[in-house]
């Protein structure tokens, strides 16, 4: 189904996100025939650019994007590029100056519009205020006016609340699309399909059968050129209240009554509100030092550009959380995320309880292979089930085996940026994969105690780890204390 005609306005349209992700996503939507001829892009930015220069930059970005595929689709489709090219225009102006918005209004006219805020967070409030003052967010008749807000949405619970209040002065909740790009990932959306379209997972999905859950988002990259941003942010704020909480919510929420945006978001809110972190002993903050990654020496965080030599910003965090509800009482959820770890890997591992009794003389119950269902989010996409089986031979001996579903073996879809679904959903008015005000606040509320402890050195010390390692040993101790251990980071 084609999306209705729309002017797609990108604030920060000359920036990196637009070129690397948004324009490729729009190209993919055009290839799939999902955009109307009445679709156009207006890029708003302060840089001195012209329509032609911007189009040339988009063209180059698209060529880079398709070249990465290395398949038959590795060539930019000329017909699609010609279609898109004529629909791109540039508007130079400051995000604070009402004159920018006046000119923008003239460019958009009276039709549908999406305003994408691909700008630094300090501009979110101002841009929305200005849009409102210029009546660009007024919806007349059937037309829609929607705003997509990038992350970071606030800096803590209070600032997220304040930002919500500010946006809601101009916009109605249904006009606001707060993005979390993890929800654009196929494998993340698949968690709901897995749980709610199959008969055999859900009956086991509870405290009677699940021992604990581990959620890992490990990265090999360091802070790259984002030292200035990261210094004031850290791994906890950057990854946990948003991305990891989304993974947790998808894994732990109750079945919604339907797939309507509000039904899904109600359930997410409920489970996020039930999260509880007991004390500073359940949080490990780490920071990478120098090390070796993929055979190459890499520098430590404090030696990265724009990072203070005595920085206390964490680049790694591990947490033990409880979910205080009937389904999950007593089942710990362990989360960890960090930069400069040994491998890039995002996954959710559901550890089931052991068999209650071992019939097998040579394999005592504590040596039985643990039953683990791992949902691989990236870079491998799929699901693995680990369980025990008899090793062939005359004696009864047991060994661990794995059953694996791999996305790439089953489906031949070309790679996407993860933004295709999100943009298409916004164009068609489906907010299921976007965060509602209460979801965002619930995510922050869950990590606020850990943020507060992080302010106090004595409560939450910073544990060093070598770049290229599996993280600080203190994170291993967090699980060892409970007689458990992390999935291998290899």
Please state the residue numbers annotated as binding site for substrate.
181, 185, 219, 238, 339
Number of residues assigned to the chain: 490
Residues at the site binding ligand BG6, with contacts judged by CB under 6 A: 151, 219, 238, 346
**Cβ-contact 331, 211 below 8 angstroms:** yes
CA distance 179 to 149: 6
From the CB of 414, what's the least distance to ligand BG6, in Å? 18
Tally the C-alpha atoms within 13 A of residue 13's C-alpha that lie toward its C-beta: 29
From the CB of 188, what's the least distance to ligand BG6, in Å? 10
- Binding-site sequence positions for NADP(+): 151
Cα-to-chain-centroid distance, residue 29: 21
Ordered DSSP codes for 296-352: EEE--GGGSTT--TT----SEEEEEEEE-STTTTT--EEEEEESSBSS-EEEEEEEE
By beta-carbon proximity to ligand BG6, the closer residue of 151 and 166 is 151
Rama region for 471: left / alpha / beta (φ>0; ψ in -120 to 50; rest): left
**Cβ-contact 446, 456 below 8 angstroms:** no
Cβ burial of 359 (10 Å; 0-12, 13-18, 19+) is exposed
SS3 291: strand
From the CB of 229, what's the least distance to ligand BG6, in Å? 8
By beta-carbon proximity to ligand BG6, the closer residue of 371 and 417 is 417
From the CB of 219, what's the least distance to ligand BG6, in Å? 6
Q: Which residue has the tokens 């101009």?
A: 170
Q: Which residue has the tokens 């850990």?
A: 450
Q: How many helices (H) and strands (E) does the chain have?
A: 16, 17
Residue whose CB is nearest to ligand BG6 in the complex, by number: 238
Active site residues: 243
From the CB of 310, what's the least distance to ligand BG6, in Å? 22
SS3 178: strand
By beta-carbon proximity to ligand BG6, the closer residue of 220 and 448 is 220
CA distance 67 to 63: 6
By beta-carbon proximity to ligand BG6, the closer residue of 39 and 288 is 288
CA distance 280 to 407: 39
**Cβ-contact 461, 285 below 8 angstroms:** yes
- CA trace torsion 211, 251, 258, 412 (10° rounding): -120
From the CB of 456, what's the least distance to ligand BG6, in Å? 24
- Binding-site sequence positions: 151, 181, 185, 219, 238, 339
**E strand map for 13-94:** 39-45, 88-92
By beta-carbon proximity to ligand BG6, the closer residue of 131 and 298 is 298
By beta-carbon proximity to ligand BG6, the closer residue of 220 and 369 is 220
Interstrand relation of 176-178 and 210-218 (parallel, antiparallel or unpaired): unpaired
By beta-carbon proximity to ligand BG6, the closer residue of 100 and 337 is 337
From the CB of 322, what's the least distance to ligand BG6, in Å? 25
């Amino acid at each position: 189904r084609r999306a209705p005609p729309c002017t797609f306005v990108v604030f920060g349209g000359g920036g990196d996100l637009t070129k690397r992700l948004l324009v490729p996503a729009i190209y993919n939507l055009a290839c799939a025939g999902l955009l109307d001829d009445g679709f156009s892009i207006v890029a708003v930015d302060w840089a001195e650019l012209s329509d032609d220069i911007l189009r040339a930059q988009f063209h180059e970005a698209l060529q880079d994007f398709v070249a990465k595929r290395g398949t038959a689709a590795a060539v930019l489709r000329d017909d699609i590029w010609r279609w898109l090219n004529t629909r791109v225009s540039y508007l130079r102006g400051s995000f604070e100056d009402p004159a920018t918005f006046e000119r923008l209004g003239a460019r958009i006219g009276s039709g549908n519009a999406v305003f994408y805020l691909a700008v630094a967070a300090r501009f979110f409030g101002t841009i929305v205020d200005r849009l409102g003052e210029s009546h660009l967010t007024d919806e007349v008749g059937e037309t829609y006016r929607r705003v997509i807000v990038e992350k970071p949405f606030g800096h803590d619970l209070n600032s997220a609340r304040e930002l919500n209040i500010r946006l809601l002065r101009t916009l109605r909740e249904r006009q606001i699309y707060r993005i979390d790009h993890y929800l654009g990932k196929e494998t993340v959306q698949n968690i709901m399909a897995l749980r709610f379209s199959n008969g055999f997972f859900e009956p086991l999905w509870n405290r009677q059968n699940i021992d604990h859950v581990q959620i890992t988002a490990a990265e090999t990259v360091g802070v790259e050129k984002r030292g200035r941003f990261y210094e004031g942010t850290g791994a906890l704020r950057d990854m946990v209240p948003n991305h990891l909480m989304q993974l947790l919510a998808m894994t732990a929420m109750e079945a919604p009554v339907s797939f309507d945006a509000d039904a899904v978001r109600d359930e997410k809110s409920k489970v996020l509100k039930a999260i509880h972190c007991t004390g500073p002993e359940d949080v490990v903050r780490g920071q990478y030092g120098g090390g070796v990654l993929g055979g190459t020496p890499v520098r430590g965080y404090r030696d990265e550009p724009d990072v203070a030599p005595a920085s206390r910003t964490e680049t790694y965090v591990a947490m033990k959380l409880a979910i205080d509800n009937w389904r999950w009482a007593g089942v710990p959820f362990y989360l960890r995320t960090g930069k400069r770890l040994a491998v890039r890997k995002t996954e959710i591992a559901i550890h089931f309880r052991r068999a209650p009794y071992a019939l097998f003389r040579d394999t005592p119950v504590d040596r039985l292979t643990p039953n683990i269902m791992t949902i691989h989010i990236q870079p491998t996409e799929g699901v693995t089930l680990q369980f025990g089986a008899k090793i062939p031979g005359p004696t009864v001996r047991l060994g661990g085996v794995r059953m694996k579903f791999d996305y790439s073996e089953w489906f031949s879809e070309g790679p996407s940026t993860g933004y295709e679904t999100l943009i298409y959903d916004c164009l068609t008015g489906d907010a299921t994969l976007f965060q509602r005000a209460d979801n965002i606040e619930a995510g922050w509320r869950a990590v606020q105690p850990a943020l507060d402890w992080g302010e106090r050195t004595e409560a939450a010390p910073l544990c060093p780890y070598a770049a290229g390692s599996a993280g600080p040993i203190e994170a291993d101790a967090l699980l060892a204390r409970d007689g458990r251990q992390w999935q291998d980071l290899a």
